[in-house]
């Protein structure tokens, strides 16, 4: 995987695979990275039926690229029925990926709790 995409994709992927009983990730979901002349790279997720990607800057610092990757995956999964990832513990909304104190973390938008770093959720 070119540029700095490997670690952010691995961290977000670990959190996806640890999602309890949600059917996430959907069957056949895979990372989709392609070269796009105007933006450099397109990073997203795809299945045989649905593809979602955004222009990505591989020069972003790793923690910022991890937050960006988590946001991109959340946007992609919003296109599936009955998917909410990652759910905020004790609430009915999603956790928000944020950069806090130089780390890519998950944050509750209601009370500001941070249940963990992106990549360590549910570990």
Does residue 67 form part of some domain? Answer: yes
The whole-number pLDDT of residue 116 equals 93
Would you list the DSSP string of 58-101?
Answer: TTS-HHHHHHHHHHHHHHHHTTSTT--SSBPTTSSSB-EEEEET
pLDDT in tens, 8-46: 888 988 888 887 665 556 667 777 777 765 656 777 777
Does residue 122 form part of some domain? Answer: no
Question: What does pTM read for this prediction?
Answer: 0.82
Does residue 1 form part of some domain? Answer: no
Does residue 74 form part of some domain? Answer: yes
Structure confidence at residue 104 as a pLDDT band (50, 70, 90) = very high
The whole-number pLDDT of residue 82 equals 64
- Checking if the pLDDT of 63 tops 70, the result is yes
Does residue 90 form part of some domain? Answer: yes
Alpha-carbon distance of 38 to 91, in angstroms, equals 40
Our count of domains for the chain comes to 1
Structure confidence at residue 51 as a pLDDT band (50, 70, 90) = confident
Does residue 49 form part of some domain? Answer: yes
Domain that holds residue 110: 6-117
56: number of Cβ within 10 Å: 23
Does residue 123 form part of some domain? Answer: no
């Amino acid at each position: 995987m070119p540029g700095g995409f490997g670690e952010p994709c691995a961290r977000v992927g670990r959190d996806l695979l640890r999602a309890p009983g949600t059917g996430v990730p959907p069957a056949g979901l895979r990372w989709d990275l392609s070269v796009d002349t105007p933006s450099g790279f397109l990073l997203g997720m795809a299945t045989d039926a649905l593809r979602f990607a955004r222009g990505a800057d591989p020069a972003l610092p790793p923690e910022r690229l991890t937050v960006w990757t988590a946001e991109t995956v959340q946007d992609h999964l919003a296109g599936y029925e009955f998917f909410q990832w990652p759910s905020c513990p004790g609430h009915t909304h999603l956790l928000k990926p944020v950069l806090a104190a130089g780390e890519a973390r998950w944050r509750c938008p209601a009370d500001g709790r941070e249940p963990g770093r992106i990549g360590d959720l549910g570990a």
